C-alpha cells in the first residue's frame, strides 16, 4: 500500500490479466509497471504474443511508451491517446485473432478516429475468444453500453495450427462515455441460436455437430436454430478445423454463449454436445450476463457517467476471476464495486446486484471536438 | 496457524473480502464459500481489527501459477462432459430462464 503510493507507476506483478491491465492503463491514462512476469518460469518474461499485443497497442494509440527489461520480466507502459484508424495486424501463430480483438473492444469506442483493423492469423482456439464468441457474445454487450455500430467481419477462416484466417474489426460508434446500465433481473432467453462451421473438412462434420447439440437442447422450451457454415477454397485457411458456438438470446439484448472447437480425432457429436452442455451450465451460472462477458461490462460500468450503474450477477459469478478483475480496477481507477444481495423473494434471491459508480471518464478526443 | 481456525467461524462479507489485497483471490472465495452453509446475515463483525490482523501476514500477490484467477484465459472453467451430462439430463434447474415457461409471480 505504502510502496504503491510512492511509485510513479501503478505496480503489478505476474503475467495474469496482462491485456486487461494494459487496457485499463490506457483508458485511465495512468502509467503502469508490471514486474515478475513469469520470473520463475523456464522461459521467463513476455511471450511473443504479448509483445505482439503491445505492438498493436502502440499502433492504435499515439504517444505510448513501452519499456521492456532485458529479461522481459518487467514492463513499463505509459499509455498514449487512443487514436484508432486503419491498421493491419499479423497475429503470431501462438494466439488466435480473438486474443487481440478482445482488448480492442474496450478501447475502440473512445478513440479519436474510427477503428478499422484487419487481423490475420488463426481464428479459433480452445482458450481464447473465437470469431462468433466476439460477434454474438461480446458485441451485444458493447451495444448495451451505447456502442451500436460495431462489427467483426470474417474474411477468411483459419483453423489452428497453420491459420491463414483474416477478420476485420470495424467500430464506427465513437462515444465520450458508455451509458449507465440498470439490469436488476435475470433476462429470459427467447431463442437459442448457433453457428457450426468447418474449414477444409467434409461438411458432414458440421451436421453431426449440429445433431449432437440439438439432441441435448431438445428439452429447452424455446426455438433452437443452428446454422451450418462450411468454408471452402482459399478463404478457408491452411488447416482443417471445425467448431460450434451456441448463443442463448434474450429479448433485452443480453445473451449467453459457449463455444468449442474440434481437435483432430474428436467426435463431432461429442463436441456439439459439449458446447450445448456448456451453454446450459453458463446459463445456470449467470445473472444478467455470462462469466466471459463480465470483465467488459464491469469495465464499462467503471468508466461510465458519474452515476450509479447496477448489474445483476449470480452467486456463481463471484469467483476468482471476478476478484482479480475488481482488484485490478481498484488499483488503477480507485473505484470499488459494491455487492448487494438481491433478496426479493423470488427464485435466485441469492444473486447479487453489483453497484458501481462511474468515474466520469470522458473520451479525451471528444472533449476537444 | 491456529488463527485460521478461529477465522473460519467468522462470517465473511464477500464485498469486503474482495478488496482485502493481502488475501489471495482463491482464499477469498473459499473463506466466503466455507461460511455459506450457516447462511449469512450479519457481516458487521469484520471491521478494522481484522484488517489489522491480516496486514501482518506478508503482502502476497498471486504469482502467475494460478490459472483460474487469470483473465488471460477467455474460456471459463467447466466440469467434465459426463458430469455435465448427468446434471443436465433435464432442464428443471433453468426452466425459469426461458421465455414461455411458467413464471413465479413477481412480488414487490
- Residue B108: list chain A partners with CB under 8 A: 344-345
d(CA A43, CA A37): 10
**In the predicted model, is pLDDT for residue A347 greater than 80?**
no
Highest mean pLDDT, choosing among A65-74, A336-345, B67-76? A65-74
Chain B hits for A259, Cβ within 8 Å: 75
Residue A243, in any domain of the structure: yes
A277 and A244 in a common domain? yes
ipTM of predicted assembly, 2 dp: 0.88
- Residue among A216, A291, A339 whose CB faces B14 most closely: A339
Does residue A225 sit within a domain? yes
Measured distance CA(A73)–CA(A35) in Å, rounded: 6
Residue A206 lies in a domain: yes
Q: Say if B103 falls within a structural domain.
A: no
A336-347 residues labelled b (16+ CB within 10 A) or e (exposed): bbebeebeeebe
Mean pLDDT of the A262-279 span:
95
Residue B102 placed within a domain: no
Q: What pLDDT is recorded for position B68?
A: 76
Does B17 fall in a domain?
yes
Residue A1 clears pLDDT 60, i.e. is over it: no
- Any CB–CB contact under 8 A between B6 and chain A? no
pLDDT for position A367: 56
Residue ending a domain, choose from A254, A285, A316 = A285
Residue B77 falls inside a structural domain: yes
Residue finishing a domain among A285, A316, A343: A285
Number of structural domains (chain B) is 1
Contact B90 A102 (CB under 8 A): no
Answer whether residue B68 is part of any domain: yes
CB pairs under 8 A between A and B: 153
- Residue range A206-223: average pLDDT? 93
A54 contacts A362 by C-beta, under 8 angstroms? no
A193 lies in the same domain as A280 = yes
* Residue A246 counted as domain residue: yes
Give the rounded percent of residues in chain A with a pLDDT score beyond 70: 97
Task: Output DSSP code: residue B98.
Answer: B
State the nearest Cα–Cα gap between B8 and chain A, in angstroms: 19
Per-residue pLDDT band at A362 (split at 50, 70, 90) = confident
Distance (Å) from the alpha carbon of B1 to chain A's nearest alpha carbon:
24
| Per-residue pLDDT at B100 | 72
Instruction: Kindly state whether residues A316 and A364 are assigned to the same domain.
Output: yes
Instruction: Inform me whether the pLDDT recorded for A241 exceeds 70.
Output: yes
Tell me which of B89 and A343 has the higher pLDDT.
B89
List chain A residues with CB under 8 Å of B74.
98-99, 102, 127-129, 133, 292
Among A233, A268, A285, the domain boundary falls at: A285
Give A220's contacts in chain B (Cβ within 8 Å): 91, 98
In this structure, are A346 and A312 located in the same domain?
yes
- Reported as a pLDDT band with limits 50, 70 and 90, residue A262 is very high
Q: At what angle do helices A294-302 and A18-28 cross, to 10 degrees?
A: 20
Please report how many Cα atoms fall inside a 13 Å half-sphere around the Cα of residue A156, on the Cβ side.
Answer: 20
Residue B95 is predicted with a pLDDT of 86
Q: Cell numbers for A54, please give them.
A: 503491445
Per-residue pLDDT at A268 exceeds 60:
yes
Instruction: Judge whether A352 and A315 are in contact, CB under 8 Å.
Output: yes
Note whether residue A83 is domain-resident: no
| Cβ atoms < 10 Å from Cβ of A42 | 5
Spatial CB neighbours of A136, under 8 Å, sequence gap ≥ 6: A193, A195, A245, A247, A255, A257
Count of structural domains, chain A: 2
- The answer as to whether B104 is a domain residue is no
Claim to verify: residue A270 and residue A321 sit in the same structural domain: no
Mean pLDDT of A82-88: 95
pLDDT per residue as tens digits for the range A166-196: 999 999 999 999 999 999 999 999 999 999 9
10-residue mean pLDDT profile of chain B (108 residues): values are 55 88 90 62 44 40 55 92 92 86 46
Contacts with B, A 156-215, CB within 8 Å? 186, 188-190
Query: Which pLDDT score, from 0 to 100, does residue A365 have?
Result: 67
B58 CB near a chain A CB, below 8 Å?
A: no
Interface of A with B in 36-95 (CB under 8 A): 36, 38, 40-41
A266 shares its domain with A236: yes
A334 touches A361 (CB < 8 A): no
Report CB contact under 8 Å: B97, A19.
Answer: no
**DSSP assignment string, A51-98:** HHHHHHHHHHEES-EEEE-TTS--EEEE--EE--EEEEEE--TTS-HH
Averaged pLDDT score across all residues of chain A? 93
Q: Which range marks the domain in which residue A323 is found?
A: 290-368
Res. A214: pLDDT tops 80 = yes
Q: Given this model, what pLDDT does residue B31 score?
A: 87
- Residues spanned by the domain of B52: 2-97
pLDDT at B2: 55
Q: Based on the fold, state whether residues A270 and A196 are members of the same structural domain.
A: yes
Is residue B28 in some structural domain? yes
Q: Both A194 and A276 in a single domain?
A: yes
Same domain? For A226 and A304 the reply is no
Say which of B61, B97, B108 has its CB closest to residue A13. B61
Residues in A closer than 8 angstroms to B68, CB to CB, are 319-321
In a domain, A40, yes or no: no
State yes or no: pLDDT of A165 exceeds 90.
yes
CATH of the domain at A209: 3.30.360.20
Amino acid at each position: 500500500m505504502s510502496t504503491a503510493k510512492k511509485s510513479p507507476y501503478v505496480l503489478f506483478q505476474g503475467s495474469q490479466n496482462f491485456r486487461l491491465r494494459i487496457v485499463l492503463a490506457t483508458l485511465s491514462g495512468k502509467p503502469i509497471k508490471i514486474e515478475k512476469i513469469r520470473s520463475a518460469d523456464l522461459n521467463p518474461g513476455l511471450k511473443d504474443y504479448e509483445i505482439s499485443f503491445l505492438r498493436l497497442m502502440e499502433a492504435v494509440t499515439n504517444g505510448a511508451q513501452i519499456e521492456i527489461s532485458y529479461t522481459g520480466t518487467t514492463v513499463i507502459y505509459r499509455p498514449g491517446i487512443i487514436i484508432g484508424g486503419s491498421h493491419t495486424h499479423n497475429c503470431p501463430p501462438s494466439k488466435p485473432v480473438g486474443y487481440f480483438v478482445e482488448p480492442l473492444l474496450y478501447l475502440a469506442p473512445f478513440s479519436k478516429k474510427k477503428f478499422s483493423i484487419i487481423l490475420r492469423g488463426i481464428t479459433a482456439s480452445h482458450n481464447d475468444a473465437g470469431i462468433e464468441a466476439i460477434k454474438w457474445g461480446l458485441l451485444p454487450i458493447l451495444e448495451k453500453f451505447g456502442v451500436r455500430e460495431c462489427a467483426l467481419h470474417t474474411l477468411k477462416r483459419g483453423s489452428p495450427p497453420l491459420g491463414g484466417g483474416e477478420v476485420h474489426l470495424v467500430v464506427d460508434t465513437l462515444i465520450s462515455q458508455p451509458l449507465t446500465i440498470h439490469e436488476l433481473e435475470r433476462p429470459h432467453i427467447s431463442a437459442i441460436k448457433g453457428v457450426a462451421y468447418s474449414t477444409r473438412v467434409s461438411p458432414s462434420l458440421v451436421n453431426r455437430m449440429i445433431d449432437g447439440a440439438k439432441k441435448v437442447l431438445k428439452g429447452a422450451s424455446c426455438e433452437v436454430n443452428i446454422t451450418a457454415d462450411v468454408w471452402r477454397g482459399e478463404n478457408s485457411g491452411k488447416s482443417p478445423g471445425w467448431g460450434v458456438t451456441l448463443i442463448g438470446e434474450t429479448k433485452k439484448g443480453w445473451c449467453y454463449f459457449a463455444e468449442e472447437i474440434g481437435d483432430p480425432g474428436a467426435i463431432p457429436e461429442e463436441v456439439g454436445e459439449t458446447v450445448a452442455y456448456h451453454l446450459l451450465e453458463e446459463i445456470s451460472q449467470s445473472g444478467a450476463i455470462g462469466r466471459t462477458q463480465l470483465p467488459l461490462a464491469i469495465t464499462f460500468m467503471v468508466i461510465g457517467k458519474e452515476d450509479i450503474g447496477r448489474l445483476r450477477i449470480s452467486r456463481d459469478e463471484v469467483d476468482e476471476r471476478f476478484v482479480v478483475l475488481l482488484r485490478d480496477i481498484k488499483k488503477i481507477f480507485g473505484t470499488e464495486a459494491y455487492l448487494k444481495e438481491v433478496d426479493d423473494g423470488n427464485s435466485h434471491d441469492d444473486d447479487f446486484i453489483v453497484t458501481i459508480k462511474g468515474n466520469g471518464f470522458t473520451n479525451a478526443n471528444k472533449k476537444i471536438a | 496457524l491456529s488463527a485460521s481456525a478461529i477465522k473460519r467461524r467468522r462470517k465473511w462479507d464477500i464485498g469486503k473480502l474482495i478488496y482485502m489485497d493481502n488475501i489471495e483471490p482463491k482464499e477469498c472465495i473459499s473463506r466466503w464459500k466455507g461460511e455459506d452453509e450457516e447462511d449469512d446475515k450479519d457481516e458487521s463483525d469484520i471491521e478494522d481489527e481484522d484488517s489489522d490482523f491480516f496486514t501482518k501476514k506478508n503482502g502476497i500477490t498471486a504469482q502467475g501459477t494460478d490459472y483460474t484467477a487469470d483473465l488471460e484465459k477467455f474460456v471459463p472453467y467447466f466440469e467434465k462432459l459426463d458430469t455435465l451430462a448427468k446434471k443436465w439430463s433435464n432442464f428443471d434447474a433453468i426452466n425459469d430462464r426461458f421465455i414461455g415457461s411458467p413464471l413465479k409471480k413477481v412480488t414487490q
